[in-house]
Amino acid sequence: GTFLSAPEVMHHYGISRTPFREACNRLHHERILEVVPRRGYLIPEVSFRTVRDLFEVRLVLEVIIAELAAIRATPPQLDELTRLGEESWSLSQAGDTNEQFVKANTEFHLCLARMTQNRELLSLAAGILERNERVSYMELRSSWFQPKEIQNLHGSIVDAIRRRDPAAARTAVIDDIQRGKTEIFGSEEVE
């Protein structure tokens, strides 16, 4: 809900006006900033509706991704998914920073998208997951997943993909995304 101060940002990062504008234009394109004519760039507040919409899109998209990943994943990709799952578990257990955990979680879900062997799905997932990172930081400030919970959620996904079971992969991804949604909204749906 605040405006970016161009002089402050440029001074803080030691950049000129051109890189500042390019970065702001990219963030505007990614819907992280809003352009306000003759005022500059506004960092919009994230509404519950925006977050709900994001979770709904993730559910639709990642269900298809999980099912295709279970069918198309290569052995090296399965090893990579296992490694990323273990990394996210160890980060949550070690009490590392929220940023490291959020990045590891994003990479885990991007790995699933890469397993589809479909560049369009990967591109869509990358865009959604980038926007989801902002929500994840807010979520982790208010609560913290328990390491065992992370292990169970991601472990179920890894196991289903390894078994080449699209239905189980679908269920595991739904459980994972729904758990994140419940952390933000509680058990009640926000309209």
pLDDT given for residue 141 in this prediction: 54
Distance (Å, rounded) from C-alpha 161 to C-alpha 145?
A: 23
Read off the pTM: 0.76
Flag whether pLDDT at 188 surpasses 60.
no
Distance (Å, rounded) from C-alpha 13 to C-alpha 87?
A: 31
**Rg, Å, the chain Cα set:** 18
Distance (Å, rounded) from C-alpha 46 to C-alpha 37?
A: 21
Question: Which phi and psi (to 5°) does residue 40 adopt?
Answer: 120, -140
| Bridge partners for 35 per DSSP | 41
The 8-class DSSP code of residue 14 comes to T
| Bridge partners for 34 per DSSP | 42
Distance (Å, rounded) from C-alpha 154 to C-alpha 87?
A: 11
pLDDT tens digits for 155-177? 999 999 999 999 999 999 999 99
Instruction: Decide which of 137 and 176 is more confident.
Output: 176
For tokens 């979680």, what's the residue?
A: 105
> Model confidence at 190, in pLDDT bands (50, 70, 90)?
very low
- Taking alpha carbons only, the member of 10, 37, 36, 11 closest to residue 22 is 10
